[in-house]
């Protein structure tokens, strides 16, 4: 897949991606037990990783039922379940670093990965909480590594309220934790601005290990999927 892409001025295009110290992460309390951890530029020289994922991941275009019609899901997706090899060694390294930092045990370690490819400003994901996590009374973590051009990840209290926006891209890390999936919603909204392509890598626990109902390995459905299934997290 060939794409037009504005690389970061600070990246070496042929250098392998490396990861910074997670101790530099900053926590933002959202209220009601929800929080996000943010670390801009966690993945160094990430543009090469972005290009590899765009070119080698088996992206699929899903469709779903909405009301009385079938619509295209406005992004491409790919999913890797518990135990599946990830599509690039750098993602395995990133997942391991996150598990070490959060001292994750077997029940809450990051185990699956859902990838979303936002090709332009028309690709998006609507307001939502992660499908399984929002129905669980247990706190959860979802780690999002953003590659490629920045897009704004919006977070607001469930049911509406003040919106916080986090521009993420070019190796930025954002982790949603605590009650975030139950008490808040997040979205990547459509934009008329000229924006380049972005790949979002979402690391999640294998929810079935903790007793939560397993929907499908590596992702969570919403609406009624017609082809495949969709990962809603941004």
Strand-strand pairing, 110-118 and 76-80: antiparallel
- Fold type of domain 25-204+212-226: Jelly Rolls (2.60.120)
3-state helix, strand, coil in the chain (%, to 5): 15, 40, 45
pLDDT digits (tens, 9 = 90+) for 198-219: 999 999 998 756 554 444 333 3
Question: CA–CA separation, 157 vs 31, rounded Å?
Answer: 9
pLDDT digits (tens, 9 = 90+) for 153-166: 999 999 899 999 99
Question: CA–CA separation, 188 vs 124, rounded Å?
Answer: 5
Say what the pLDDT of residue 185 is.
Answer: 97
* Percent with pLDDT over 70 in the chain: 82
Mean pLDDT, the chain, rounded, equals 87
pLDDT digits (tens, 9 = 90+) for 78-93: 999 999 999 999 999 9
Domain assignments of the chain as residue spans, ordered by start? 25-204+212-226
Strand-strand pairing, 43-44 and 76-80: unpaired
Q: Are 133 and 181 in contact (CB under 8 A)?
A: yes
The one-character DSSP state at 219 is B
């Amino acid at each position: 897949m060939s794409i037009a892409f504005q690389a970061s001025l600070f990246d070496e295009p042929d250098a392998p991606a490396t990861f910074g110290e997670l101790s530099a992460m900053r926590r933002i309390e959202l209220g009601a037990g929800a929080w996000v951890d943010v670390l801009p530029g966690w993945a160094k020289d990430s543009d090469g990783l972005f290009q590899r994922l765009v070119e080698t991941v088996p992206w699929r275009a899903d469709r779903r039922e909405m009301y009385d019609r079938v619509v295209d899901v406005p992004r491409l997706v790919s999913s890797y379940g518990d135990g599946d090899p990830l599509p690039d060694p750098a993602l395995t390294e990133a997942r391991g670093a996150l598990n070490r930092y959060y001292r994750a045990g077997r029940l809450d370690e990051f185990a699956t990965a859902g990838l979303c490819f936002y090709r332009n400003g028309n690709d998006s994901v609507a307001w939502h909480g992660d499908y399984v996590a929002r129905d669980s009374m247990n706190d959860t973590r979802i780690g999002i590594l953003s590659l490629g051009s920045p897009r704004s990840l919006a977070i607001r209290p469930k049911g509406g309220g003040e919106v916080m926006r986090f521009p993420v891209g070019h190796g930025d890390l954002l982790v949603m934790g605590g009650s975030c999936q139950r008490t808040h919603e997040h979205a990547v909204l459509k934009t008329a601005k000229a924006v380049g392509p972005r790949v979002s890598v979402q690391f999640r626990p294998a929810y079935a290990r903790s007793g939560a109902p397993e929907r499908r390995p590596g992702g969570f459905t919403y609406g009624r999927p017609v082809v495949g299934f969709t990962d809603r997290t941004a």
